[in-house]
Amino acid sequence: MDPLKNKQNSSFSTPVCVHNPHLDSLKDDILYHFSLGTETHDLPAMFGDVKFVCVGGSPWRMKAFIEYIAAELEMEDPKSEYPNICAGTDRYAMYKVGPVLSVSHGMGIPSIAIMLHELIKLLYHAQCKDVTIIRIGTSGGIGLEPGTVVVTKQSVDATFQPKFEQVILGKTVVRNTDLDQNLAEELLQCSKELDQFETVIGNTMCTLDFYEGQARLDGAFCSYSEKDKQDYLIKAREAGVCNIEMESSVFSAMCKLSGLRAAVVCVTLLDRLKGDQLMSSHEVLNSFQKRPQILVGCFIKKQLMAKAVTS
Ligand code: URA
């Protein structure tokens, strides 16, 4: 895929959208869980140049990502200091190097949804344009060699439907979980060029829980058999599901609503057809967790180089 052909490089620019008339009447929009606000911080000055946002569960991993990307883009801080922009709170951590923002989101749909409401407002208030957002994370694979990276084609729910449901004012609202297919293909192409690990494009099942929600047999409670578990995972596989995690559905839905170009890139830590417990060594798991960072790092570098050539 030619990076020069995508929308990011075309002459018109895409803003980040919010759809909330009530925001206009707020004198100060307080982004409480980031410990930032429109009256207390100059958001356009702090974040106006952001073009890439990477989000992931753990604050530690998102700090490691900014250190990695700083080195890749040759934008290292000589003192190797990458301050947490959200130091005023322990809810989420945020780091920035040049046009790249790295934010942690915690575990599960409620945690990432709160973070995304505030992140989308932050990008909107900062008047950011042409932003690409990528979730980098870990997952359980189905029938894949552990360590395989999955770029999500479609995020599906635990009944294999491509939708995200939320109860708002007592009514179920169904939202679309489409992701940017061109971006997914560009990421796959980066992986081919890197040639360091296996990467596939496939559906990602997003569940509400790590244990029973993902058909594990090792939670505190379990009311089904090994065969029930295998039957369910095989059905998921037949529906095109390559991996299981806990954030992609709301991530896809909210990014689509705000006009953000979005992708989900998760490494598989184990093959769920073969087991439930994470038994690989710390070193192996750590090296697996670096793979989405390496892939996204390559993508960002390629995009920035293409942009430098055109401008
Ligand atoms: N994350 C998940 O949600 N499930 C797994 O099996 C591994 C990581």
This prediction's pTM? 0.95
What pLDDT shows up at residue 79? 74
Average pLDDT, the chain: 95
- The amino acid that residue 121 corresponds to is K
Q: What is the pLDDT of residues 60-109, one digit of tens each?
A: 999 999 999 999 999 987 777 899 999 999 999 999 999 999 999 999 99
Is 138 known as a binding-site position? yes
204 confidence band (pLDDT: 50, 70, 90): very high
Task: Output the CA torsion sign for 123, 102, 108, 181.
Answer: positive
**pLDDT for position 311:** 77
- Ligand 1 centre distance from Cα of residue 210 (Å): 6
Radius of gyration of the chain (CA): 19
Residues 6+ apart with CB under 8 A from 100: 50, 51, 52, 53, 54, 66, 69, 73, 300
What structural domains and CATH numbers belong to the chain? 1-130 (3.40.50.1580), 135-311 (3.40.50.1580)
Question: What is the tens place of the pLDDT at every residue in 226-241?
Answer: 999 999 999 999 999 9
What's the rounded Cα separation, in Å, for the pair 155 and 250? 9
According to DSSP, residue 225 is labeled -
Residue 36 in this model has a pLDDT that exceeds 90? yes
Ligand 1 pocket check for 211: Cβ under 6 Å: no
Q: Is the CB of 247 under 6 A from ligand 1?
A: no
Condensed to tens digits (0 to 9), the pLDDT of residues 158-178 reads 999 999 999 999 999 999 999
| Res 7 pLDDT > 70 | no
